[in-house]
A and B are shown apart, each in its own frame.
Chain A
Amino acid sequence: MRIGVGLPSGIPGASSHIILDWANRADEGPFSSVGVVDRLVYDSFEPLTTLAAVAAVTRRVKLATTIVIGPLHNNALLAKVAATVDALSQGRLVLGLAVGARQEDYEAAGIEYSSRGRRLTEQLVALRSQWEDGAIGPKMARTRGPDLLIGGLSDQGYARMARYADGYVHGGGPPRAFARGADKARAAWIDAGRPARPQIWAQAYFALGDGAEIEAGHRYMRDYYSFAGPLAQRIASWLLTTPQEIAQFIRGYEEAGCDELLLFPTLPAMAQLERLAEALVGLGRSAP
């Protein structure tokens, strides 16, 4: 299992400097990728334009969106933007898409919330066709375009993933919950007669440091997931707060067959990245 790190671009108050410094530092390892999340009605950076800037300050890491709320975008335009980020990064983009869970984002974008599943299915086919077609450019490193991952938990979501995408992004939770999601994804993939196995990505949040820093991490998660109502409390309780918790979490995900795990920060401070890197090196994960 490879381990990537999330950028602080989804944390309110994060500066552009810290996002780019963070990406630049992550490129030195021991991380295999950097990830970004997507919210429209929130104090956060837009994921794909952020990755365009990140492409300029990194050489090695994959650039992953976990996820972009696909149905908010026009298909041709999204194909163009993603192709551009992929070209700027010499083929390092991994485009995760999902329907998202916040109705307010759809209202703000003027997109009918109830149409989201259908839109995503159409989008998957449209993106791939437009990339392969090549008419919209720019020329990308891979003729098929970037790898496409799908997030989501409905039966339809797994089927959609198996039909059109290259893999699955799990939304987070304890290893056992991940294992169930990964099993469904693999079952759908094999049933669809797709070759080998789907790529399986996952994400989690961490806050390393003293009590105040950990509390700040919890606060951010409760706020970020406040749309989920009472569930926000539970999601916040999954925050990884010690190297020990991170070690066990990694082991659990590895055993359940995760290919790449992205650890997202909950505080916009470089010290968080340094501590995470140190913890991973302690686990025997060294710089490339």
Chain B
Amino acid sequence: MKIVILGGGPAGLYSGLLIKKANPSHDITIIERNAAGVTYGWGVVFSDRTLASFQRADYKSYEQITNQFVIWDAIDVHYRGETMRCGGHVISGIARKTLLNILQGRCREMGITLCFGQEINDLAQLDDYDLLIAADGINSVARKSYDKHFKPTIEYGKARYIWLGANKVLDAFTFIFCENEHGLFQVHAYPFNGTASTFLVECDEASWLNAGLDKADEVESLAYCQSLLAEHLGGAKLLSNNSKWISFPTLKTKNWQHHNMVLLGDAAHTAHFSIGSGTKLAMEDAIALAGALEQHADLESALNAYELERKPVVEVFQCAASESQAYFETLKRYLGLEPMQFTFQLLTRSGRITYDDLRFRDVRFGEAVDRWHAQKACVVAHTVKQGRVQHGQSTTRVLHPIFAPAPMFSSLMLRSLLIPNRLVLAPDAAMNQAQHGLPGDGHLEQFNSLARRAPGLILAGPVAITDSGRISPGCSGLYNQQHFAWWTHLVEQLHSYQDTNQQTKVAIELNHAGRRGSTRWRVEGLDRPLAEGNWPLIAASPIAYTPFSQVPREMEHADLERVRDDFARAARLARDVGFDLLQLNMAHGYLLASFLSPLTNQRSDVYGGDLEQRMRYPLEVFDAVRAAWPADKPVAAALNATDCVKGGFTIDDAVIVAKALKEHGCDIIAVQAGQTTHDGEPAYGRGFLTAYSDRIRNEADIPTMVGGYLTTSDAVNTVIAAGRADLCIIDSPDL
């Protein structure tokens, strides 16, 4: 076959080399735009797994590459004057130039024609070929010529960054976070050749503009970064190589092949630099393409096989890269975290590395995380961020244990309530068959079996505040003396369970179903109106929940007062029952939530309109409940992070409401999503609410409780240790 490869980067050279090696009869030409020896960029990094695949693909270049490698296993995080270290990561770096020289040498040895300094702007410039491999980077001419077929999309990151080098030896992958009068800058730095390191400097657009870097030329940019990092460089000089400030372009391509043309590496896909996988993915593409060409007799099957093998792998990396990119773009919200939690959050940002992974890689780091939680978390929880910590908890004899239990076993203090661990269990409310709000004996046994699993907190709910506020006829209530007696008996029983000498705590969630009321037992489906005996519904606005649902009546002034008083009365009953924590439901489209969302609140009075107005009634109810509830006991609010519907309540709205709730005396937010309307649904999966909880907790500076199908101790420890939530609702299949 006559093969033309566009682009003499790692992808182009490596694919040429491997294809020729498998079948020396191929006639291969590599065309590179730049002159030989001209290269941009500094070092590139590979993980040990990538190296193993290089070893299998071409031992000779593998050996030459590894001879030139700088290998290290640590990640250092410089933050707020402290350096946190975590080992066991095994990363290798090599100068990009060295890598290219090795691959060029191998290509020449194999008899591949290398043409440098030849710019191809039009595919018509090329002679005939049987296969065209487009390894010509993000601006690929080949891809652009067949845009309609390849269907590329490019999305630019919000941050600005510049690739610099430095004559500085580093012994770890180094993250530096520095704040100055212009804003926040972060550096991703790693060694690559024994005497020099890559220094990639990144900042958000505001900091970039404040620093005047939009107008700075190469020399001025270099000087700015030099002075910014003076303390960390310790006399070493930053270097520039035609370096410019850019926004990271993430390229996704729907099709990677067209007739006898195939895309490779950056021509097909890019992934944010913070997970260091661009060159790795490009070279793995080359291995897969060469393998497919060797295995399949016809070109079409070979290119199909290549695309099928690589696309899913690349998509997984792009997903992790976008998580990581989002982390760096929104880093400011984590600046309140202490160095240990900040570092843990950073290391687990992409979702690929967990608490157990870090403990396995570096047990000392893992134990330091545990110790930190045992000492701090209990105190810090009252306000999330340091600086406003109430030290009332600390006594004269502060312990510094040598080993501490995992983060999920640290206690949590909310007002005067000590929750012995971070695990929350909630009974299956749908199995409840209460009669006019009075739960049955089966429900009692359900609670007891949960208590035996030693959670820190048991959450009962949703519990209706009135008969007409029930979701379905089997729903529990707290609005008469019989209910009061039943719950009092339950709470007494549950309080007799203990975890490490601490009583298990019991919470009640008070709810009014609003427009989602009067529905069947959920065995029969969700939000299906009763076959008979429906009761009238009320809501913020007269909008039916599903096309089959009853249209609720818009709440009038008297309704607003009555429901508020009903909530307050239920709160007083809950207080007298002896519940430890009260949660007010304003999520999932129930009554209070129907005020918050613009999709369900179309009122023209003071309770409708902009967010400030829409949250007025839920806050009035919150105030009434807070006033009825003991001042030394905490109150939670269940709040939607988003409606998951266009035009609905968003995470930005949720942060505003969470801040307002905090001001009104709310101690913790239980994070939910979706169900505001019957058609808006989150992207379900393990931990699907965690990212929302992270944002609310760290932007509104309030503790959070999160569920969203957390089933393992690893998932819980990771969430707690990273400060993404303070309590986790467990959905283990073993329950």
Contact in complex: B308, A234 (CB < 8 Å): yes
Chain B residues contacting A186 (CB-CB under 8 Å) are 709, 731, 733
CB distance from B295 to the nearest CB of A (A): 12
A195 cross-chain contacts in B, Cβ below 8 A: 428, 430-431, 522-523
Task: Tell me whether A125 is interfacial, beta carbon within 8 Å.
Answer: yes
Q: How far is the CA of A188 from the CA of B680 in the complex (A)?
A: 12
In the complex, the answer to whether B429 meets A193 with C-beta atoms within 8 Å is: yes
Chain B's closest residue to A118 (CB) is B679
The smallest beta-carbon distance between B544 and chain A, in angstroms, is 14
Residue of B nearest to A122 (CB): B547
Beta-carbon contacts of B515-556 to A below 8 Å, as 1s and 0s? Answer: 000000011111110010000000000000010100000000
Flag if A164 contacts B525 (CB, 8 Å).
yes
Q: In whole angstroms, what is the CA distance A185 to B708 when docked?
A: 12
Cα-based distance from A79 to B533 in the complex (angstroms)? 26
Stretch from B343-351, B557-565, B613-621, B681-689 at the A interface: B681-689
Q: Which of A190, A191, A230 contacts B682 (CB 8 A)?
A: A191
Residue of B nearest to A179 (CB): B686
Q: A192 contacts B731, CB within 8 Å?
A: no
Q: What residue of chain A has the Cβ atom nearest to residue B686's Cβ?
A: A183
Chain B residue nearest in CB terms to A180: B685
Closest to B546 in A: A125
The verdict on A193 contacting B522 (CB below 8 Å), with A163-B527, A183-B686 known, is yes
Q: Which of B526, B678, B681 contacts A194 (CB 8 A)?
A: B526
Scoring B305, B523, B684 by chain A CB atoms within 10 A of each residue's CB, the highest score goes to B684
Chain B count of residues within 8 A CB distance of the other chain: 35
Cβ-closest chain B residue relative to A231: B308
For residue A229, which residue of chain B has the nearest CB? B304
The yes or no answer to B137 lying at the interface (CB within 8 A) is no
Q: How far is the CB of A230 from chain B (nearest CB, A)?
A: 4
Indicate whether B723 reaches chain A with its CB closer than 8 angstroms: no
User: Contacts A186-B709, A195-B523, A196-B428: A159 and B308 contacting too (C-beta < 8 A)?
Assistant: no
Mask, A51-78, CB within 8 Å of B = 1, is 0000000000000000000000000000
Question: Which residues on A sit within 8 Å (CB–CB) of B674?
Answer: 159, 191
Q: Is A251 an interface residue (CB 8 A)?
A: no
Enumerate chain B residues within 8 angstroms of A139, measured Cβ to Cβ. none
Q: Which B residues have a C-beta under 8 Å from some C-beta of A?
A: 301, 304-305, 307-308, 428-431, 522-528, 531, 546, 548, 674-675, 678-679, 681-686, 688, 707-709, 731, 733
Q: A144-B524, A186-B709, A187-B686 are known contacts. Are A193 and B430 too (CB-CB below 8 A)?
A: yes
Given contacts A144-B524, A162-B526, A163-B525, contact A188 B684 (CB under 8 A): yes
Q: In the bound complex, how far is the Cα of B469 from the Cα of A123, in angstroms?
A: 29
A187 touches B708 (CB 8 A): yes
Asked if B709 contacts A183 (CB within 8 A), the reply is yes
Interface hub of A156, A159, A162, A180 (most chain B Cβ within 10 A): A159
Residue among B308, B523, B528, B678 making CB contact with A233, cutoff 8 Å:
B308
Tell me the complex Cα distance, A174–B428, Å.
31
> Would B522 and A125 count as touching, CB distance under 8 A?
no
User: Chain A contacts of B528 at CB under 8 A?
Assistant: 125, 128
Q: B731: which of A165, A190, A193, A230 is its contact (CB, 8 Å)?
A: A190
Q: Inside 8 A of A165's CB, which chain B residues have their CB?
A: 525
Q: Is B685 a contact of A183 with CB atoms below 8 Å? A: yes
Complex Cα–Cα for A190 and B588 (A): 13
With beta carbons under 8 angstroms apart, the residue of A180, A185, A190, A233 that contacts B304 is A233
CA distance A138 to B546 in the complex (A): 29
Q: Which A residues are in CB contact (< 8 Å) with B522? A: 192-195
The residue of chain A having its C-beta at the shortest distance from the C-beta of B428 within the complex is A195
Contact in complex: B531, A132 (CB < 8 Å) = yes
The 6 closest A-B pairs by CB, nearest first: A159-B681, A187-B709, A195-B430, A230-B304, A187-B684, A188-B684
Residues of A within 8 A of B525 (CB): 125, 128, 163-165
- A103 CB to closest chain B CB (Å) equals 18
Main secondary structure of the interface of A (DSSP, over half): helix
Q: Which residues of A contact B733 (CB under 8 A)?
A: 186, 197, 257
Q: Which residue of A lies closest to B689 (CB)?
A: A191
Alpha-carbon distance between A187 and B686 when the two chains are bound, in angstroms:
7
A184 at the interface (CB under 8 A from B): yes
In the assembled complex, the CB of B670 is this many whole angstroms from the nearest CB of chain A, namely 13
On chain A, the residues within 8 Å of B707 by CB distance are 190
- Given the interface pairs A163-B678, A195-B522, the reply to whether A155 lies near B431 with Cβ below 8 Å is no
> Whole-angstrom distance between the alpha carbons of A128 and B548 in the complex?
13
Minimal beta-carbon separation of B528 from chain A (angstroms): 7
Complex CA–CA separation, A232 to B139 (angstroms): 32
Interface residues in A, total, Cβ within 8 A = 32
Residue of B431, B548, B709 near A125 (CB, 8 A) is B548
Q: Which residue of B lies closest to A186 (CB)?
A: B709
Complex formed: what's the CA distance from A187 to B682 in Å? 10
Interface residue? A45 (CB, 8 A): no
A31 within 8 A of B: no
A271 to B683, CA, bound (A): 44
Chain B nearest CB: distance from A185 CB in Å?
Answer: 8
Instruction: From known contacts A230-B308, A233-B305, A233-B308, infer whether A158 and B681 are also in contact, taking CB-CB under 8 Å.
Output: yes
Chain B residues within 8 Å of A192, by CB: 522, 526, 675
Q: Are the CB atoms of B683 and A155 closer together than 8 Å?
A: yes
- Interface pairs (22), CB distance under 8 Å: A144-B524, A155-B681, A155-B683, A158-B681, A159-B674, A163-B525, A185-B684, A186-B709, A186-B731, A186-B733, A187-B685, A187-B708, A190-B707, A192-B522, A193-B429, A193-B430, A194-B523, A194-B526, A195-B431, A195-B522, A197-B733, A230-B304
Instruction: List chain A residues, Cβ under 8 A from B429.
Output: 193
Contact check: which of A193, A197, A233 meets B526 at CB < 8 Å?
A193
Is the beta-carbon distance between B709 and A156 smaller than 8 angstroms?
Answer: no
Most chain A beta-carbon contacts within 10 A, residue among B525, B548, B708: B525
| Assembled-state Cα–Cα distance A114/B682 (Å) | 22
Contact of B301 among A162, A233, A257 (CB under 8 A): A233
Question: Separation in Å of the A122 CB from the closest CB of chain B?
Answer: 8
**CB-defined contacts of A230 to chain B, threshold 8 Å:** 304, 307-308
B303 nearest CB across to chain A (Å): 9
The minimal Cβ–Cβ distance linking A110 to chain B, given in whole angstroms, is 24
Give the chain B neighbours of A257 by CB distance below 8 A: 733
User: A162 to B244, alpha carbons, bound, how many Å?
Assistant: 50
- What residues of chain B lie closer than 8 Å to A188, measured between beta carbons? 681, 684
**Complex CA distance for A103 and B321, rounded to whole angstroms:** 34
Query: A183 to chain B: which residues have CB within 8 Å?
Result: 685-686, 709
Q: How far is the CA of A162 from the CA of B688 in the complex (A)?
A: 15
For A158, list chain B residues within 8 Å (CB): 681, 684
A228–B88 alpha-carbon span in the complex (Å): 43
Residue of B nearest to A190 (CB): B731
Return the chain A residue nearest B471 by Cβ. A193
A164 B526 Cβ-Cβ under 8 A: yes
- In the bound assembly, the distance between CA atoms of A65 and B688 in angstroms comes to 30
Residue of A nearest to B304 (CB): A230
Q: Which residues of A contact B527 (CB under 8 A)?
A: 163
Q: Are A194 and B684 in contact (CB under 8 A)?
A: no
Q: Mark A141-167, 1 if CB is under 8 A from B, else 0.
A: 000100000000001101100111100
Q: Are A184 and B431 in contact (CB under 8 A)?
A: no
Which residues 192-211 of A sit at the B interface, judged by CB distance below 8 A?
192-197
User: Closest Cβ of chain B: how far from A92's Cβ, in Å?
Assistant: 20
In the bound complex, CA of A194 to CA of B471 (Å): 13
Nearest Cβ on chain A to B673's Cβ, whole angstroms: 8
Residues of A within 8 A of B683 (CB): 155
Are the C-beta atoms of A190 and B709 separated by less than 8 Å?
A: yes
Query: How many whole Å from B470's CB to the nearest CB in chain A?
Result: 13
Contacts A128-B524, A191-B674, A257-B733: A159 and B684 contacting too (C-beta < 8 A)? yes
Contact in complex: A155, B684 (CB < 8 Å): yes
Nearest Cβ distance between residue B531 and chain A, in whole angstroms?
A: 7
Most buried by B among A156, A163, A165, A257: A163
Question: A184, B684: Cβ atoms under 8 Å?
Answer: yes
Within 8 A of B (CB), among A221-239: 230-231, 233-234
Contact of A191 among B301, B523, B684 (CB under 8 A): B684
In the complex, which residues 242-285 of chain A have their Cβ closer than 8 Å to any Cβ of chain B? 257
